[in-house]
Amino acid sequence: MNAAQPLIRLEGITKVFQADEVETHALSEVHLEIQPGEFLSIAGPSGCGKSTLLSILGLLDSPNHGNYWIHADAVENLSLADRTRIRNREIGFIFQAFNLIGDLTVYENVELPLTYRSMGAAERKKRVEEVLERVGMKHRMKHYPSQLSGGQQQRVAVARALVGQPSILLADEPTGNLDSKNSEAVMDLLRQLHGEGATICMVTHDPRYASIADRTIHLLDGRVVEEGSAA
């Protein structure tokens, strides 16, 4: 990818957790750039810092040291309100556990991120129905999460991540709770979205799925130890 300005840039990101006088260095001096339209996978063993890195990328957590820019905006200079706005408008999250709200319908779950914006009901309806159609779940929009299979719930979660038309999708082990058939279906959907121009950053421990990305970084003990491009 050749872009004048990376979508995301990290320099020297360090994250330390402190508990009972014990310091855990979750991330140590991580440098990373993500270009618009790139599919990046973050691989490594459990406890290596993958999810911590994704939380920082998604503005759900902050580093102890280092600098983070998104769209050339320095995150450390942003107010809490600005961070919330960027998280809502620029970042789409796909979680391993789906994180759907049980007493909301499929339609209402997908619509939820749009309710925090000044957007009319007609525009929200149009967006929600379009993304549900895109992930093959429009026919289930009146159902509740408990009435869906795991694979269907993850498709709804992808739709919820897409509905706000974010700059980047952050996927944390999106196939972790799925069987092999549904895992393949979700990965096919991510491949399709990437082919349409989506920027995706995915945490995975499964080398089969890491290999479909344009580029993979490997973390070990909070450090980037290897980086490679797809063949």
| Amino acid type, 112 | L
98: left (phi over 0), alpha (psi -120 to 50) or beta: left
pLDDT value of residue 230 = 57
The confidence band for 199, taking pLDDT boundaries of 50, 70 and 90, is very high
Handedness of CA 169, 171, 177, 182 (dihedral sign): positive
Which band of pLDDT confidence, cut at 50, 70 and 90, is reported for residue 190? very high
- List pLDDT tens digits, range 139-158: 999 999 999 999 999 999 99
pLDDT at 202 over 60: yes
Structure token pair of residue 92: 């789409």
Q: What is the pTM for the complete model shown?
A: 0.89
Hey, what amino acid is at 36? P
Please report which confidence band the pLDDT of residue 102 belongs to, taking 50, 70 and 90 as the band edges. very high
Structure confidence by residue, pLDDT tens digits, 7-34: 999 999 999 998 877 888 899 999 999 9
Burial of 46 from C-beta contacts in 10 A (0-12 / 13-18 / 19+): exposed
Q: Give the burial class of 115: count Cβ atoms within 10 A of its Cβ; 0-12 exposed, 13-18 middle, 19 or more buried.
A: exposed
Using an 8 Å Cβ cutoff, are 162 and 92 in contact? yes
> What share of the chain has pLDDT > 70, as a percent?
97
Q: What does the domain layout of the chain look like in residue ranges?
A: 8-229
Amino acid at 97: A
Place of tokens 């009319």: 120
Is the pLDDT assigned to residue 72 strictly greater than 90?
no
Question: Where does 8-229 sit in CATH, by number?
Answer: 3.40.50.300
Q: Sorting pLDDT into bands at 50, 70 and 90, what band is 3? A: very low
Q: Is residue 1 scored above 80 in pLDDT?
A: no
| 133 pLDDT tier (thresholds 50, 70, 90) | very high
pLDDT number for residue 2:
47
Confidence of residue 57 (pLDDT cuts 50, 70, 90): very high
